[in-house]
Structure 1
Amino acid sequence: MLYPELFKSLEQVRWNLEKDIPWDQFDASRLTDEQAQTIRMNAITEWSALPATEMFLRDNRGDSDFCAFMSVWFFEEQKHSLVLMEYLRRFRPELVPTEAELHNVRFEFDPAPPLETLMLHFCGEIRLNHWYRCAADWHTEPVIRQIYRTISQDEARHGGAYLRYMKKALVEMGDSARAAFAKIGVLMASARRTEKPLHPTNLHVNQALFPNDTVQSRLPDPEWLERWLDNQIHFDAEWEKKVVDRILHNLSLLFERTFTTVQELNRYRKDIVNRMAVPAQEQQPA
C-alpha cells in the first residue's frame, strides 16, 4: 500500500495558506487587469478537481489504496483554487468567482479505463507544472508569482505520486498497464500536433453534454485557455519541448528503456500491443 508513505511525504512539505504566502509583499502597481482575469480563470479551473475526484473514486472502487490517496490529492488541489481566490479576495474582490461559476465546472465524467485515466492525469500534472512555472515568469506582481511557483511544485509532487501508482500497476497488470500508459503517453506528448492544449481540463468527458463537456468549455470565458497560453504567458515550442521531454524521461524510467522521441514510444506501444495479441499458448516454451 502506497497511501501511508505518500501521505507522510506530502505532509512534510505541505505549505500553509497564511504563513507561507508573502501576502504583505503585494504590489498593486504590478498587477494588471489582464493578469487578474487570468487568475480568476485558473481559480475556477482548479475547482474541477472536485468532479475529477468523484470520477477517480467511482472508477477505482476496487483500489482502496489509490482512493485513499485521493484524499490527499483532492485536498491539495482544492487548496490551489482556494489560494487563487484568496488572492483575488484580498486584492481584486470584484473578480472572486461566484459559487455558481465554480459549480458549473462540477459535472459528471463518463466512465473511462482507470489505467488510461491515471496516465492522462500523470501527464496533466507534468503539463500543469510547466504552465504554472511559465505563468510565474509572465506575472509581474510578486505575491502571485510566488503562488504560481508554490502550486507548480505541488503539481510536480502529484505527478511523482501518480508515477508510484503506475509502477505498482506494472507489477500487478503487466502488459495491459504498459499498453495503456504508452497509448496515452503518445497522445499527451504529441500536443504540438493538435489545435487545442492537451490537458484533462480541455478533453471531452461526457458524451451526453457534448460539446459543452470539457472543463474549459464551462468557464465564463471558454476561449480563455488558448489565449492564456499563446498570447499571454507565451507557452511556446521551447516550453512544450520541456513537457514532452519530461513525459518521455519518466516513461523511460517506468519501462526501463530509453525514449528520446514520441515515435520511439509509439513503436514500443505497437510492440506491446502485438505481444498481447499473440495467443497465450504460443507464448509458452516448447
Structure 2
Amino acid sequence: MLYPELFKQLEAVRWDMETDIPWESFDAALLDDEQAQTIKMNAVTEWAALPATEMFLRDNRMDSDFSAFISVWFFEEQKHSLVLIEYLRRFRPDLVPSETELHEVRFEFDPAPPLETLMLHFCGEIRLNHWYRRAAEWHTEPVIKKIYETLARDEARHGGAYLRYMKRALLKHGDTARLAFSKVGVLMASARRTAQALHPTNLHVNEKLFPRDTVQSRVPDPEWLERWLDQQIQFDAVWEDKVVKRILHNLSLLMEQDFANVQELNRFRKDISRRLERVPAQ
C-alpha cells in the first residue's frame, strides 16, 4: 500500500494556518478590489474538492489504498479553501463566500474511468501549481503572496502522490494504463490549441446539468477564470509551456520514453491503441 507512506510524507510537511501564515504582515494598501475578488473566486473553486472526493470514492470503491489517500488530499484541498476564506474574513469580510455560494459547486459528477480521472487530476495539480505560482507573483500584498506560494507547494506534492498511483497502475494494468494516461496527457498538454483553460474544474462533468456542469460555471462569477489567467496573472505562452514540459517530462519518465512534444506523445498513444486492438479477446 502507498497510503501509509504518503500519509507520513505529507504529514511531515503540513503547514499550520495560524503559525505559518504571516497574518501580522498584512498591508491593506496593497490589496485592491480586483485582487480581492479573485481570492473569493479561488476560495469557492477550491471548495469543489468536496464533490471531487465524492467522485473519487464512488469510482474507486475497489481500491481502498487510493481511497484512503484521498482522505489526506481532501483535507488539504479543503484547507486551501479555508485559508483563502480566512484571509477574506480578516481583511475583506464583505467578500467572504456565503454557504450557498460554496454549496453551489457541490454537485454530482458523472462516473468516469478511474485511470483517466487519475491522469486528469495529476495534470490538474501541475497546472494549478503553476497558476498559483504566477498568482503569487502578481499579488503584491505579502500575506496573500505567502498563501499562494504555500498552496502551490501543496499542489506539487499532490501531483507527486498521484504519480505514485500512476506508477502502480502501470504495474497492474500495463498498456490499458498507458493508453489512458497518454490519451488524457495529449488533451491536457494541448491547452494552447483550446479556447478554455484545461483544468478539472473547467471541464464538463454532468451531462444532465449541461451547460452548468463545470465547477467554473457555478461560481459567483463564471467568467472570472479566463479573465484571471489572461488579463490579471497573465498566464501567457511562456507559463503554459512550463506546464506542458512538466507533463511531458513526467510521462517520459513514467513510460520510459522521450516525449519532446505533444505530437510524439500522440504517436505513442496511437501505437498503444493499435497494440491493444491486436490483443485477442479473453
Letter of the 2:214 partner, please give it: T
The 5 Å alignment of 1:192-211 reads 192-211=192-211
The alignment partner of 2:105 has SS state of: coil
Q: Deviations over 1:150-189 (max 9, x none)?
A: 0000000000000000000000000000000000000000
Letter of the 2:92 partner, please give it: R
The 5 Å alignment of 1:118-129 reads 118-129=118-129
**Aligned mates of 1:109, 1:203 — CA distance in 2:** 11
Runs (4 or more) in structure 1 with deviation over 4 Å come to none
**Aligned mates of 2:264, 2:86 — CA distance in 1:** 44
Cross-structure match for 1:113: 113
Cross-structure match for 2:177: 177
The 5 Å alignment of 1:123-142 reads 123-142=123-142
Q: Deviations over 1:83-127 (max 9, x none)?
A: 000000000000000000000000000000000000000000000
Q: Deviations over 1:44-65 (max 9, x none)?
A: 0000000000000000000000
Letter of the 2:74 partner, please give it: F
Letter of the 1:242 partner, please give it: K
The TM-score, its normalising length taken from structure 1, stands at 0.98
Cross-structure match for 1:284: none
Deviation at 1:279, TM superposition (A): 3.2
The 5 Å alignment of 1:212-227 reads 212-227=212-227
Q: CA RMSD in A?
A: 0.7
**Aligned mates of 1:97, 1:56 — CA distance in 2:** 25
Deviation at 1:257, TM superposition (A): 1.1
Cross-structure match for 2:266: 266
Provide the identity percentage: 78
Deviation at 1:142, TM superposition (A): 0.3
Letter of the 1:91 partner, please give it: F
- Unmatched tracts of structure 2, length 5 or more: none
Q: Deviations over 1:167-221 (max 9, x none)?
A: 0000000000000000000000000100000000000000000000000000110
- Unmatched tracts of structure 1, length 5 or more: 282-286
**Aligned mates of 1:274, 1:111 — CA distance in 2:** 26
Letter of the 2:221 partner, please give it: D
